[in-house]
Amino acid sequence: MWIVAWIVALAIAFAGCTRDRDPHDRDGRRVFRVGVMPNMTHAPGLLGFQSGLFRERLGNDVVVKDRVFTAGPSVIEALFAGDLDVAYIGPNPAVNGYFRSNGKALRLIAGAASGGAALVVKPRIHGPQDLVGEKVASPAIANTQDVSLRFWLRDYGLKAKSAGGNVEVLPVTPADIFSLFGRDRLAAAWVPEPWVSRLVLEAGGVVLVDERSLWPDGKFPTTVVIASTDALKARPDLVDRFLAANREAIRRLQEDPGPSRSQVQQWLNDKGKKLRPDVVKRAFDNITFTDDPLFPQIQVLARRAVVLGDLPTDEGIEGIRSPP
């Protein structure tokens, strides 16, 4: 594990010497690249694009480009490659990326969403022991929902088959989870919104565990915001403008939810992710938007990743919030 981390850190250091840390478009304007996923828990980012808020706050001299991903680990790879300035992402991939790069590649700069994740099961599943011998999915290996799933199984004396247990835990993209669940090829899945609501309302699923029930006061980070250290060093002015836009997007989602939700839904529609109105309402009702990254809870998630073997250590995690 440490040899792999050293190789990754060396590759990042080499890439940092060769890539453009302040890219410009062909017309001379600066380019600012934002990573998002088509999830409701990324709504501040989706609203920022659809409403024009990012373009407005970053200015006419900046081209704001979206990069769309399906899971956190692929976001980290893009950031390592120098293709992102900031990204909305789950806390566990963010922490993994920080440690994989020996603290060189990224920093945690804001929060976005709390809540909006759950374990959805077939009606025949009534408790953890019913998952023995079954196939259970999460969006990606070592992503935030995957860590939550495997740690929850551990609490009940269960483990993934890959770790010598008897529950088959599979990394599956959310769209494929929906398809496989509907065809009875999966017994359960731990997913974020809107996939929780889609599985319940469209595929006959039942929520066995609302993750809010596992945390004090029901608060835990589903989506946070990270920035590359290159962006923080070379273009801090753009990062500051982006953060102001993120705060405003969250304010709108909190205080003026009707129009804001409609704009998020339109962004999803435009990306071919059309959702039923009842799915949209249920999904939004399960999420709290906040620019607080909930760092104490992130520390708990990092410790769980260590226990599960996804991280060699969480020592020094405080550095993820320090200036680069």
Burial degree of 27 (CB within 10 A; 0-12, 13-18, 19+): exposed
Kindly tell me the sign of the dihedral angle through the C-alpha atoms of 39, 42, 46, 49: negative
The residues with which 107 forms a beta bridge, in sequence order, are 227
CB 144 within 8 A of CB 220: no
What is the predicted pLDDT for the residue at 7? 42
What are the structural domains, with CATH classification, of the chain? 2-116+219-321 (3.40.190.10), 117-215 (3.40.190.10)
Give the helix/strand (H/E) hosting 58: helix 53-58
CA-based nearest residue to 256, from 49, 10, 42, 47: 47
Give, to the nearest 10 degrees, the angle between helix 257-270 and helix 277-285: 120
Q: What is the pLDDT of residue 239?
A: 98
pTM: 0.91
pLDDT at 215: 97
Q: What integer pLDDT is reported at residue 23 of this predicted model?
A: 80
Q: What is the mean pLDDT of each run of 10 residues along the chain (324 residues)?
A: 42 50 81 96 98 96 95 93 97 96 97 98 98 97 96 97 96 96 98 97 98 97 98 97 98 96 96 94 97 98 97 96 93
Instruction: For residue 303, give the 3-state DSSP assignment.
Output: helix
Specify whether the backbone of 52 is left (phi greater than 0), alpha (psi in -120 to 50) or beta. Answer: left
Q: Which of 120, 306, 126 is nearest to 195 (CA)?
A: 120
* Per-residue model confidence (pLDDT) at position 19: 59
Q: What is the per-residue pLDDT for 2? A: 37
Give the three-state DSSP class for 56: helix
